[in-house]
Structures are given as C-alpha cells and as structure tokens.
Chain A
Amino acid sequence: MATTSKRNLREEIHRSLEDETLQRAITSAMATLFERRKGALESIDFEETRLEARRLKEEALERNPELLEQLVRKVEGYGGKVFLAKDGVAARTYIADLAVEKGVKTVVKSKSMVSEEVHLNAALEEEGIEVVETDLGERIIQLAHERPSHLIVPAVHKTKDQIIELFARTMGVENPPTEAEDLTRLVRDDLRPRFMKADMGVTGANFVVADTGTLVIVENEGNARLSTQLPPIHVAITGIEKIIPSLEQLGTFLELLPRSGTGQLLTAYVSLITGEPSTDVLDMGRANGGQVTEREFHLVLVDNGRSEAREDPELREALYCVRCGACLNACAPYNQVGGHVYGVDPYPGGIGCAWTWITKGPDSAKEINGLCTTCSRCTEVCPSMIDIPWLNTVIKQRNNERLGMKFRDRVFARADLLGDVSSPFAPVVNAVMKTPLAKVPMGRIGIDRTRKMPEYARETFEDWFQKRGQVTVREPRREAAMFVDCFINHNKPHVGEAAVQVLERVGVKLELAHNECCGRPAMSQGSLDKPRAWAKKNIERLYQLVQEDKDILFIEPSCLSSIRDDYRRLLENEGEETMRKLDQIEERSWDVTEYFLHLVKEERLDLHLRPLDETFVVHGHCHQKSMGIGSVPGEALRLIPEADVIDVNALCCGMVGSFGYKEEYSELSRAIGQRLFDKLNEHEGTVVASGISCQSQIGEGTERDPKHPMEILIKAFA
C-alpha cells in the first residue's frame, strides 16, 4: 500500500510545518548548534583532522572481526561478561533476563542510541522493572512517551513551556518553576534517589578500545558517571562498529566529536572505564530490597545488520558514523520538519535513513529516503566524511529495483531526453505546459501542478555556440572546454552565452566538451545504470581534453559535484586506470566563476570593469558550498567597482533538482525556500544564484529574476 503511506508522510510533513511551536524550537536550536560548531572548529584544522579520523575509522572497520575477538578476550580477562547480540531481540532479551535473574528493581540509564535501537526499555518494563532515563533530554522524552528527535539533543523539538507543562503533569509538581535552571534542578532532585536505589546502570559507549577493553563515554551531565559508579551492575550496550584498536586513535576522535556535536572543545566528562569500578558496592538505597552485592560488568555488543553492512561496499560508509548530529544541524529538510517525521527508530535524518535500512530493513527506510534531497550540505560538516547523499541515492536505487520506479521519477531521471524532444518545439511545449490541461496529468503522476515547469528555449546553447563559428581569442592564456549541462543547454542558454563571453574576455579559448549528461538528474531518482554508462563516456571524453592540456568548465555546480564526488563511487569497480583518469580530470575541472576568479588572481589581470552601482544579493549553491567554493560568486562580483555585494546565508533553496516538483515534498520545498526568500527580501537589488534549479525556486518564491554571476559580469565588461 505504497500510496497510503506516501499520503501519510505528506500529511506528517504538513503537520510539522504547521506546528509553530515545533518550528520555533528547532529553528533556534539548529542555528545555535550550527554556530557553536563553527566557533569550536576554529582551533583545529578540520579538514586534516577529519581525513585522519576517516582513515582511522576505515582501518578499524576493516579489522573489525579481529578487534572484536581481542576485545572479548580482554574484557573476559578482567572478569567482565561479553554478549554478542546478533540482533535487537537478542540484545534486549539478554539484558532483561540478566535483570530478572539478579532481582533488579530499578535501572538507571544514561543516553544510548543503541538501547533505543533495540527497544530495551520496553523489554525491561515488560518484566516489571522500573527504567529511569537520566539524561535530561531523554528523561523529558521518556516522561512524554515520545522518541528522541535528534541524535544528541533528544528533546530539541520541545519548548520550555511544553516542558513545564509536562513536568506539572507527570512529576506531580503543582507549580513547576519556569526557568531552565530550576527545571533542571527539579529533575536532578527527582533522579538522585533513583540513582541511589538503582541496582543496574545501563550506558552506551562512544568508543570501545580493543587492546585495553576500555569504554569511552563522552557526556556533559555526569549521569553516565553516576550510572557506572553507583549501581552494582553496569551494562554497557553499543554497536560492534564502535571498536577502535587502541587508545592511540582516541585523540583524533575526541578532537572532532565534541566540536562537531555540541560545539565544545571537550565535553564536561570523557570517561575511560575498564571493567567494574574498584569500589565495593555501596549500601545506599539497598534498603529498597535490592539484592545485588557483587559488582558486575557486562558488555553487550550489538550486530543487528552491521556485519552485513560491513560487507556491503556501498552501505559500509554508514558505519563510520560517530553520532555527532552535525549533519542534522546542516540539513535543510531536517531543520524544517524536525526528527519525528523520519520515523526515528531511532535514527533521524539522511544518515538515519541508512541506519534504518541497516538495522530495521529496507521497508522501514523507504519512506524517509525521499526526505534527502542529496544537496550534500551534510558532507561539509561530517567529521567522518560520510557521503550521506550517496547512501541515500544507493538506497533509492535499491528500492527502485525491489519495488519498481515511479513513472514520474523516470521522467525526471531523463533530463537529457526531455530537452532533446522539447527544444525544437519550444514555443509549443511551453504553451502546453502552461495550460490547465497539462496540469492535470502532471498531478496524476505525482508532480505538483502548481509548479511552473522550466521553459524551453528554441535555440540550445550548443546550437548557439556552433552557429557562431570560430571566435579568435588573441593570444589565449588558456584553452578550455565547456561542459554542456542539460538545463543550461535547453532552458537557459543565455547563461551559457554570458559565461562564454566573460571567459573569452579574459583570454580563454573555448570549445564545447561534447559530453553526455552528468547523470545527476537520474542518480537523484535512484537510477544508476544510465549514469554509469554516461560517466564512462564522459571520463573518456574529458580525459582526452585533459590530454590536450585543456581545462573543463562547469556552469552548473551540481554537474561539477557529480564528477568530483559521485563518479568515484559510481565507477568504484572500474579499476585503477579509471580512477587515475578521474584524478586528472578532477584536477582540471572548475566551476566557471571559480575559474574566472582564479585566472584574475593568478594572472593579476586588470579587468577595467565598468562600475555597476547596484546591489547584488547572493545565494550560495549547496554544491558550491560542499565543494568548498561557496564564497566564489560573491568574491567575483566584488571585483566590479561600486557593486554592493551581500552574501545571504541560508541552508538551501529547497528545490534541489526535482525534489520541489514532487507533490509529496513540494510544501516542504517551499517552506525551506521561504527562509531563503525572507533573507533575500531583506535586501533590494539583483538576486544572484549559480544553480538553475535554485534560480527557478527563487524566481517563483520572490517574484524576482535571479541571475547567474556570469550574467552580471558580462554587463560589467560591456
């Protein structure tokens, strides 16, 4: 019943978007986390550190079976018990049985996503055991009977007022305090006696060190400290992918995790724990009838799909996640709807989709897969350099294979064909698209019928370029080929024309690359076979150009990002020769604006640009940002005398290829866009956006006419 569940998701998105309290709560929290992270990263070389972290994670996972064995030996060696749980049922049954056997009455828990993954609380409660979440956020969620909506701030979707009301209702306090500080104190006082009477403490672990058998727990509240020290039995539950070889690797991870997660240099407590505490069991609270008098330590290592994912060259990537949550804070759809729309069993966001696939199976991951627009913003921030958009693309492809691909998605996948068919009949096609008649079938196949479809130009960019024949650039500084993308070619040829003219002014001799579609429109519908074939052809063609000592220029940042980021994965099995070619192609591939700016700087060009006394309001393209060239459009425009350039900082335009056209997501797409529109509308002037789909989204949302930086620059050359 795919249709019913699709309607539900649309409905849920709608409800989240309408929920003003939720909107307020997430918006301010995400912005705070995003900013704090940025500040904390100033004190390290993020790129270098995350490269190292990634390398360490890869190595650790590669050696996982061997490390696991070593860890087990080590823990058993000091008297701890290890249980390898093949799935969630096994894990929760082991812990529940242990609790029953030991006569445990109260369990205190510190934050553990894996315990949520295996539904531990329900299993314990079924045995009549009191389970007390002690992390403040988790406690709030527990009292509200909800699920965590964020990896590190579980109650991020709740406002203070809602929490006050919740405490009044569930904690038997008549007039709960109103300040965060007093509310926190209230929970502290309520939990202290529970800590003291607890017979079992359950914690997670951020890392487990194989050669010493040590748990590493990163926390701020001190509840993990108390959960491991006070109750006689300590059970740590974590995923097998958390094992690292030795303490030596820890430094790199500790540099990154707190900075990425909460924007701290280090959290209040980072505990290294090896076995049970050396103190005797305290008598505190044993008066409540607890019977355990011996200290015990149990380590539950959960597989639950991880080994299988480890063997899977594409999904393996997900296992490098350290659960810092940074990707969520950077993700526009997450920022807009919050975690619960993702189903949170228990992992939200784009990375959550991969984890849901791994731990709960393909069906559970199907719905939330579409919520990832593959915009790549998260890849900029992920400390483990996980390619979350690619994971989502792969999942989409696998679901297409299992369940068939929607007709609509097949249409969107072939941007190349649409253009080829439409251009010669441009006026007719454009007219038909505008009629109410065209809107009906669009609606029927799942395209939002209120969206304006892109208009087709009668003359393509390629035709224009060929027609104008040989243009002589006197003493060319460089030779380059323009990568022709489907949308510039068919829908916005004038942008291509502007780029050609600007580059020729700075002495670049141009030709066309005669490439195939980059493949992104198809990849983002989860269709990978065609793009793979195109990619192979493109590599041969572009490599030939590189051999001829030519640079390759991209007008649409998304096409460039396909080649820089996706081809490597798409062609993983093609062998070293292909990768070598790809390396060389990458080295010579440029975003047009980046290239222009580079030339101006390197050749110290005196451009004699005409002053333009205008304001330019610049929206940064997601893929430009993810490729680290986000500031390029603004910088280029600042070369124009008298131009007033304003860089607007928003997450995403919300369109991202065809995402905004799909009826189930179009409301979300517009809501994401609205944040950008509001920021753009704070300023008069010309809106500048490098992406074609950004342009159409902004055009629709602001009724302004966004321009590509090249269109502005050519004016200044005139």
Chain B
Amino acid sequence: MSTPLTEAFAERMQSVGGRISYTTAEGLAETLGGLVERDRPVLFTPELRDLARQLRDVGHEAYVGTREGVAEQTEAAFEGVLERAGTGVSGSLLGISSTGSIAVGPGGGNGGLLIAFPPHSVIILQADSLRKNLAEALPEVERRFDELDGEAVFVSGPSRTADIEMMSVVGVHGPTGLDVIIVEGKEA
C-alpha cells in the first residue's frame, strides 16, 4: 500500500523517466531478479551483500564491489567486472518526495560509480526513509556526513541531456535506465 509520500515520489520519479517497483523485504530478491539482464554481471554495493548472494543462488553473475576487488569472487578484478556489468545495484540513505530524488551514500567507495557507470542502475529505497522535501532531507544527510565520508549523491532520474535542440534524451554518460525498488514494511 502506498502512502501520499511514496505516491508523490513515484510520480515525480516516473515523470523524468525513472521506473518504480514496489516490494517487501522478503520479495526484494525476486523483484530485482525480474529487472536485471540474465547474461551480464550485476554489481552490488557492500551493504547489499545478502541480496547479491540471493541473486547468485538463482544463477545470476552477481558481485559485491569493494575496495579490495570483487568480494567473494576474488579472482575477478573490480574494473573488469565493472566494464561488463549490465546493472549496478545500490542502497540509499533516503528519498525526497517533493523532488522525486534519492540520496545515495558512498557505497563502500563504489556507490558513486555503480549508479553512474553501468547502463542500468537499480536503487533500493526503504519506504520509511522517504522525506517530504529537501529541507527535511538535507539536515539528515548533514548529520550523517562524517559517517558518509562526505560523499552523497542526490539522484533524480536516469542521466539525461537536452543539449540538442532542447530534445530530452535519456542516458548520456550515466545509465540509460533507472529502476527504483521501493521496499515497504508489512503493515504499510
């Protein structure tokens, strides 16, 4: 069940080309599995280690990108996988309803790359982390700034440009596709 906050968020996100799926904590792996390409690696930020394992269990080539390389697949170098990756999956700090944005933290150092480099980006958003507007969201990011190593990116839709005759084109340097999976609590 959606709340006004999630609805407004979803509407804004969709209006700029982002796609929205709703799921629960239990259904997350399945929802994600349905969104990613089968035959290309899926890269995860470290806090999504469990999710990566669940995808691997059902036959996906799934990796966790960390400083040291690609965890649990130690032979593979991070960049080699990154270049082949079809999807980067990242967690998030919070969402902003009024602008349709999600704040993403450093993600073990690779978060910034995982949302921008692979052609497809998936960001997982906890419904209860949605805030009304920038004024509510920014102080929270500010409070956690040290823990975030001073890194945060507000993502509002897939990468895009209007540099040719003001025609909106999605997917310039960053991902062509952005999926946001909203994870709702049971009672919600």
CA–CA, A229 to B153, complex, Å?
12
Given A222-B116, A247-B138, A266 and B166 touching (CB < 8 A)? no
Most buried by A among B96, B98, B164: B164
In the complex, B110 has a CB within 8 A of chain A: yes
Residue contact A251 to B134, C-beta cutoff 8 Å: yes
Chain A interface: which of B30-38, B56-64, B142-150?
B142-150
In the complex, A163 has a CB within 8 A of chain B: yes
Counting residue pairs across A and B whose Cβ atoms lie within 8 Å, the total is 180
In the assembled complex, the CB of A147 is this many whole angstroms from the nearest CB of chain B, namely 15
CA–CA, A313 to B161, complex, Å?
38
Residue contact B138 to A274, C-beta cutoff 8 Å: no
Residue contact B174 to A269, C-beta cutoff 8 Å: yes
Given A188-B171, A266-B154, A136 and B110 touching (CB < 8 A)? no
Residue contact A43 to B98, C-beta cutoff 8 Å: yes
Residue contact A269 to B78, C-beta cutoff 8 Å: no
Contact of A134 among B109, B134, B173 (CB under 8 A): B173
Contact of B134 among A195, A255, A274 (CB under 8 A): A255
CA–CA, A196 to B174, complex, Å?
14
Residue contact A222 to B145, C-beta cutoff 8 Å: no
CA–CA, A212 to B146, complex, Å?
9
In the assembled complex, the CB of A250 is this many whole angstroms from the nearest CB of chain B, namely 6
Complex: chain A residue closest to B156, CB-CB: A266
In the assembled complex, the CB of B160 is this many whole angstroms from the nearest CB of chain A, namely 5
Contact of B169 among A156, A159, A180, A225 (CB under 8 A): A180
Q: Give the dominant DSSP class at B's interface.
A: loop
Residues of A with C-beta under 8 A to B164:
136, 140, 155, 160, 163, 180, 183-184
Q: Give the dominant DSSP class at A's interface.
A: mixed
CA–CA, A339 to B119, complex, Å?
35
Interface 1/0s, chain A 15-48, versus B by CB < 8 A? 0000000000100110011000000000100000
Contact of A282 among B78, B108, B171 (CB under 8 A): B78
Residue contact A180 to B67, C-beta cutoff 8 Å: no
CA–CA, A274 to B150, complex, Å?
5
Complex: chain A residue closest to B77, CB-CB: A283
In the assembled complex, the CB of B34 is this many whole angstroms from the nearest CB of chain A, namely 25
In the complex, A280 has a CB within 8 A of chain B: yes
CA–CA, A264 to B98, complex, Å?
12
Residue contact B163 to A272, C-beta cutoff 8 Å: no
In the complex, A265 has a CB within 8 A of chain B: yes
In the assembled complex, the CB of A245 is this many whole angstroms from the nearest CB of chain B, namely 12
In the complex, A268 has a CB within 8 A of chain B: yes
In the complex, B91 has a CB within 8 A of chain A: no
Chain A interface: which of B47-55, B99-107, B180-188?
B99-107
In the complex, A275 has a CB within 8 A of chain B: yes
Residues of B with C-beta under 8 A to A273:
150-151
In the complex, A603 has a CB within 8 A of chain B: no
Given contact pairs A160-B164, A229-B116, A280-B67, enumerate 14 new A-B contacts (beta carbons under 8 Å): A33-B166, A180-B164, A183-B164, A184-B172, A187-B172, A212-B145, A222-B173, A264-B156, A265-B12, A270-B101, A270-B153, A271-B112, A278-B67, A283-B79
- B residues sitting closer than 8 Å to A (CB atoms) are 12, 16, 67, 77-79, 82-83, 96, 98-101, 106, 108-110, 112-113, 115-117, 134-135, 138-139, 141-142, 145, 149-167, 169, 171-175
Of the A-B pairs whose beta carbons lie under 8 Å apart in the complex, a sample of 7, sorted by A's number, is A195-B173, A221-B160, A225-B112, A271-B112, A271-B154, A272-B152, A280-B67
